[in-house]
Amino acid sequence: MTMERFVCLLFALVLAARACAPAQDSMPSQNSAPSQGIRIAVVVDAKSGQPVAGLMQQDFTVLDNKTPRPITSFRVVNAASEPVHVILLVDAVNMPYQALAYTRQGIEEFLKANEGKLAYPTTLAVLTDQGAKIVQDFSSDGNALNDIFHSQQIGLRQITRTSEWGGIERLQISLEAFHQLAAFAAKNPGRKVVIWISPGWPLISGPNVDLSTRDAKQIFNDVVSISNQLRQDNLTLYNVNPWGANESLARADYYQSFLKAPANANNVEPGALGLQVLAVHSGGLAIESNSDVAGNIETCLNEFRSWYEIEFDPLPADRPNEYHHIEVRLDQRTLTAHTTDGYYANPKVLQP
């Protein structure tokens, strides 16, 4: 594959993914009111890994680009006070066919646990070469969902890992499916959870990838759009790798090279659009350590037993799409907090 052909197709890929996303402006409208604050969902864990409830506002310090910011709103939340909707997606595009049967077994184990009574309304989706298909509306009946899931025929994928364009085509399909699921989830109230069961999307990055200025701007704009979409729609993305420790550790951890959010188009790489990267930035998890599919789904959902909704007064932005890193610190050093990694801000527009 020549670099010129690669860049042309990559540029087309980003345009296609952006076309499938809900219309969102990177720049605020000249007639729009300035944002009143940044709202984030914060999960606090003890060393045991269990979520911690009962903390007070004074236990938290929110830093915006390392600067403490005033907390303007604070509340303790759980699934009883705010609805949680869950989408489980089986990625047959990026998963080896031989792993599908094992993944099906793990999902069946999850759905049939507790006599099939699910903690949150859940639906299932399957990603194939033809795109994402949601197989059922949200339901708390795990047994019924399992029956519907087992009726789905998931065939061999036509796009392979070894084909010349395979990685780029699979990434395009994956991004389009993400936007489709995000738009579907956004229609529901409360918090939305997408658990994407997959080894991950192709990370088309490296020393031989030389993006043009135009391509880099398009990829950066897509990163900004997805970041805004996840936070504004109250959607958290999780990645469960069904291969777990059976996969090469070097490959499984490669996404960590792209975890630093791009500040502008000059330092963006296609890897910034990786599944694991987007999951971590949304405040979710990228679970690679073991192949217990059912247990790892439970680990993701355990975070929704209790959380904290915090709104803070953000630092003003000096330029369009300025990245602000968010850090939440706790007075109790034995506890850890995680939330969305940051946000892209724009200068406030003065009203006439």
Lowest-confidence segment of 65-74, 80-89, 210-219 by average pLDDT: 210-219
Angle formed at CA 287 by CA 338 and CA 167, multiple of 5 degrees: 115
**pLDDT number for residue 178:** 95
**pLDDT number for residue 330:** 95
**pLDDT number for residue 165:** 53
Instruction: Give the torsion sign (CA, 27, 31, 34, 35).
Output: negative
**pLDDT tens, 156-204?**
555 554 444 578 888 899 999 999 999 999 999 999 999 999 999 988 8
Q: For residue 28, give Cα distances in angstroms to 19, 39, 171, 230, 352.
A: 19, 18, 29, 17, 15
**pLDDT number for residue 13:** 53
Q: How high is the mean pLDDT of the chain?
A: 85
**pLDDT number for residue 164:** 45
For the segment 92-112, the average pLDDT, to the nearest whole number, is 90
**pLDDT tens, 106-118?**
999 999 999 999 9
Lowest-confidence segment of 24-28, 103-107, 207-211, 293-297 by average pLDDT: 24-28
Q: How far apart are CA 289 and CA 296, in angstroms?
A: 10
Q: How far apart are CA 325 and CA 348, in angstroms?
A: 18
Taking domain 80-302, whether its CATH number is 3.40.50.150 is answered by no
For the segment 108-131, the average pLDDT, to the nearest whole number, is 95
**pLDDT number for residue 253:** 80
| Burial bucket for residue 216 (CB in 10 Å: 0-12, 13-18, 19+) | buried
Q: Which helix (H) or strand (E) holds 229?
A: helix 213-232
Under 8 Å between Cβ of 346 and 324: no
* Structure-token pair, residue 352: 């006439």
Q: For residue 100, give Cα distances in angstroms to 130, 190, 199, 243, 335.
A: 17, 31, 12, 10, 37
Q: State percent of the chain over pLDDT 70.
A: 82
State the DSSP code for 51.
B
Q: How many residues does the chain have?
A: 352
pLDDT over 50 (residue 30): no
Under 8 Å between Cβ of 63 and 327: yes
Lowest-confidence segment of 31-45, 231-245, 268-282 by average pLDDT: 31-45
Lowest-confidence segment of 103-117, 121-135, 236-250, 282-296 by average pLDDT: 236-250
Whose tokens are 């499938």? That residue is: 20
**pLDDT number for residue 188:** 94
Lowest-confidence segment of 212-221, 279-288, 305-314 by average pLDDT: 212-221
**pLDDT number for residue 139:** 96
Confidence band (pLDDT; 50, 70, 90) for 50? Answer: confident
**pLDDT number for residue 212:** 85
Q: State percent of the chain over pLDDT 90.
A: 63
Give ranges for CATH 3.40.50.410 in the chain.
Answer: 80-302
**pLDDT number for residue 249:** 55
Confidence band (pLDDT; 50, 70, 90) for 352? Answer: low
**pLDDT number for residue 28:** 39
